[in-house]
Amino acid sequence: MTLAINVLLWLVVGTLAFIASMRGRVLLNEGSRAGAMEFILLLPRIGIGVVGSGFVAEALPNEWIAPWLGPESGFFGVVIATFGGALTPGGPVVGFSIGAAALKSGAGAPQVIAYSTAWALYAIHRLIIWEVPMMPARVVWLRAAVSLPLPFMAAALAMLLGRP
């Protein structure tokens, strides 16, 4: 499955490179240069996040995680995970590393799914720093309100479908 995803992603990159080359050599060169710079800048962050999540996973006592976020914590664990996701600052390296560390420490998959869904949809810092200054506040709060049930729905679906 991982190989198929990698092949698909490289096919997309190849197709986009072909389209860029058809539009001009300058566009292809600029796109390649920008992509390489993004890769170089992102690689250390990913490494730090992966290593950091391993440290966090080892530092988190399993006896704390399992009762609060373990598979047996049920809906209460989903609520805690949802609040945790909404309050977690930072980008994907931070959010997903914390989710991976929680899984390693005994958290249940539905709880981690609720955490990452809440983090992606309505992290408080992102609402205040990015969305409210750029869009009307009413639209931002309406979007956040409409998104409120989604982490719970994602966790419920994960519980119904079984352990991933």
pLDDT tens digits, the chain, 164 residues: what are they? 788 888 999 999 999 999 999 999 999 999 999 989 998 988 888 788 777 777 776 777 777 787 888 888 889 999 999 999 999 887 787 888 888 888 888 889 999 999 999 999 988 888 888 888 999 989 988 998 999 999 999 999 999 987 55
Per-residue burial over 34-50, b = 16 or more CB atoms within 10 Å of its CB, e = otherwise: eeeeeeeeeeeeeeebe
pLDDT score recorded for residue 153: 95
Cβ atoms of 118 and 81 closer than 8 Å:
yes
> Whole-angstrom Cα distance, residue 98 to residue 50?
10
What pLDDT score does 47 carry? 81
> In terms of pTM, does the model score above 0.75?
no
Contact 69, 108 (CB under 8 A): yes
**Phi, psi (degrees; rounded to nearest 5) at 152:** -70, -40
Total domains, the chain: 1
Domain region containing 6 = 2-17+24-161
**CA neighbor of 121 nearest in space, from 144, 139, 103, 102:** 144
